[in-house]
Amino acid sequence: MTEALATRRSPLESLGRIATFTRVMYKPHYLLYGVLWVLALEGTAALVSHPDIGWRPTGATCARIAIVAIVLLYLRMVDEQKDLRYDRVHNPDRPLVTGAVDAGELRAAMAVIALVAVSASLALSPASGALIAVVLGYGLLLWGLERLSATVRDRILLNLVVTYPVQLLVTAYVVCSAADSGTAVVTARAAAVALIFAGAFLQFEFARKTSRDVRPGELLYSNALGTGGSIAASLLLATGAVAADIAVVRPWELDGAATVIGCIPVALLLIPFASAARFLRSRERDYPVVPPVLFILALYLTLIAQAVAGTA
């Protein structure tokens, strides 16, 4: 019935429904995250590759930002479909559950996004096109794997191990594409930059799925690790991100403002640690997500400023 209705919709109507989905499920702060992620990642990779040359965003940087932004929307569309069974119970207001958009419309939009992302990446370099195709393909692989395996779908820690590599693939895309344009060099030190971004994102991932309550059926890290264990994991990941930044960037080897800015990430650890202390003293049921978000954004802005200051 739904598919029959979908066939009677005009392309303009379906486009409007996709726009509604995007407005609801791809909020402005997701886009802001994607922009800062690419800038901070490319800038840091450039800084550790060419500390004496410095870094400035280029036209290729803008292209990579646009490509990553639409790929994140593509992955959001994949998640909406692969999580449909779970969302019917726990998130009944999601667009695919309510019928505000249907699976056929999402798949058509995904096909267009994939074509644009691969074509634009090929314009940057053949390797860029191949890597972004791998990212898109891995998203589809995760969808199929979760449909086939209830264990992967329902065991949150195993699910994280299986799903997080898509973020690493996007990181690899940005660094390798930047290397193809001469902005960075793919070395062990540049590759280790990925640890900064893995720790920063995962501290938020654990924080946003932490609660004092045990909620059977919900995908919460606190269900698997306990409230204290989930908070400890988030804090450990935040600390690891900062430690990786200091070890990889080596701010003491930089000059002037870059050296000063390079020390800021250590101070930023006050955000997650103060938040954890406040939560443990409070009676709040769910762990607050604003401080972990602020930590990510502040860290990425610091990395961008550090890379730019290195050119002075």
Residue 148 pLDDT class (50, 70, 90 cuts): confident
Residues 59 and 163 in one domain: yes
| Spatial separation of the C-alpha atoms in residues 230 and 220, rounded to whole Å | 9
Residues 136 and 271 in one domain: no
Residues 192 and 179 in one domain: no
Residues 270 and 143 in one domain: no
Residues 97 and 219 in one domain: no
DSSP run (H or E) holding 73: helix 59-82
Q: Which of 160, 230, 167, 173 is nearest to 196 (CA)?
A: 167
Residue 3 pLDDT class (50, 70, 90 cuts): very low
- pLDDT single digits (tens) 153-169: 889 999 999 999 999 99
Question: How much is the average pLDDT of 83-89?
Answer: 85
Residue 175: what pLDDT? Answer: 95
Residue 7 pLDDT class (50, 70, 90 cuts): low
Identify the weakest region by mean pLDDT among 15-19, 66-70, 83-87.
83-87
- Tally of CA atoms within 13 A in the half-sphere of 257 that contains its CB: 12
* The pLDDT of residue 260 is above 70: yes
Residues 112 and 212 in one domain: no
User: 270: exposed, middle or buried (C-beta count within 10 Å: 0-12, 13-18, 19+)?
Assistant: exposed
In the listed set 120, 154, 185, which residue is the last one of a domain according to the structure? 185
User: Strand pairing partners for 211?
Assistant: 286
Residue 85: what pLDDT? Answer: 85
In the listed set 142, 164, 185, which residue is the last one of a domain according to the structure? 185
Identify the weakest region by mean pLDDT among 47-56, 224-233, 297-306.
47-56
* The pLDDT of residue 111 is above 50: yes
Q: Which of 173, 170, 189, 169 is nearest to 181 (CA)?
A: 173
CATH code, domain carrying 273:
1.20.120.1780
Question: How much is the average pLDDT of 278-284?
Answer: 93
Residues 161 and 35 in one domain: yes
Residue 147 pLDDT class (50, 70, 90 cuts): confident
Residues 215 and 118 in one domain: no
Residues 12 and 128 in one domain: yes
CATH code, domain carrying 179:
1.10.357.140
Residues 62 and 149 in one domain: yes
- pLDDT single digits (tens) 209-250: 999 988 888 889 999 999 999 999 999 999 999 999 999 999
**Taking all residues of the chain, what is their mean pLDDT, rounded to a whole number?**
91
Range among 28-32, 103-107, 118-122 with highest mean pLDDT value? 118-122
Task: Specify whether the CB–CB gap between 241 and 299 falls below 8 A.
Answer: yes
| Spatial separation of the C-alpha atoms in residues 164 and 200, rounded to whole Å | 13
The amino acid at 1: M
Say how many domains are in the chain. Answer: 2
Residue 110 pLDDT class (50, 70, 90 cuts): very high
Phi, psi of 194 (to 5 degrees): -60, -30
Residues 249 and 126 in one domain: no
Residue 2: what pLDDT? Answer: 46
Task: Specify whether the CB–CB gap between 184 and 177 falls below 8 A.
Answer: no
Domain that holds residue 307: 187-312
Q: Tell me the pTM.
A: 0.91
Q: How far is CA 14 from CA 72, 115, 203, 263, in A?
A: 20, 19, 37, 49
In the listed set 162, 185, 208, which residue is the last one of a domain according to the structure? 185
* The pLDDT of residue 4 is above 60: no
Determine the angle formed by the axes of helices 103-124 and 11-25, rounding to 10 degrees: 80
Residues 180 and 213 in one domain: no
